[in-house]
Amino acid sequence: MTSGTGAPDDRIELRGLRCIGTHGVLVEEQVRAQPFEVDLDLSVDMRPAGISDALADTVDYGAVADVVAAVVSGPRSFALLEALAVAVADAVLGVDPRIAKVTVALRKLRPPLAVDIDTVGVRMSRFR
């Protein structure tokens, strides 16, 4: 299938990448690590890889996962999920120039709220 521009609507999907990080507004969140989960959609033209069946002709999703884990678990702490998601998107776009667009869904798995809630999160997209 192609988009309205004639470019393929191909994407690589990564789901449920779990990482431990220290991100949040509360002091407790900044010193006590907590779990996060990330889903990614990478817009990539897969025609070359579909023909060659060679990793060199596509984006290595293992490298993408490693970069995302490094951002979420790394030494830099973010107060807002929005800022962390932008940092993840920027890092992913830096992995390979063939990534035309990335959509990041980022969830905090145990948010410190006074109500019973499983997750809170953000979803955003960035284009090259």
Which residues carry out catalysis? 108
Q: Pick the closest to residue 87 from 70, 100, 101 (CA basis).
A: 70
Which tens digits make up the pLDDT trace of 46-69? 999 999 999 999 999 999 999 999
- How big, in percent rounded to 5, are the helix, strand and coil portions of the chain? 30, 30, 40
- For 40, how many CA atoms within 13 A lie in the half-sphere containing its CB? 30
- Cα(110)–Cα(56) distance, integer angstroms: 38
Which tens digits make up the pLDDT trace of 73-101? 999 999 999 999 999 999 999 999 999 99
Report the mean per-residue pLDDT for the chain: 93
What is the pLDDT, as a whole number, of residue 113? 87
What are the residue ranges spanned by the domains of the chain? 11-127
Classified by CATH at the fold level, domain 11-127 comes out as GTP Cyclohydrolase I, domain 2 (3.30.1130)
pTM score, whole prediction? 0.91
What is the pLDDT, as a whole number, of residue 110? 87
| Confidence check: pLDDT of 108 > 90 | yes
Distances (CA, A) of 83 to 23, 24, 89, 90, 117: 10, 10, 10, 11, 22
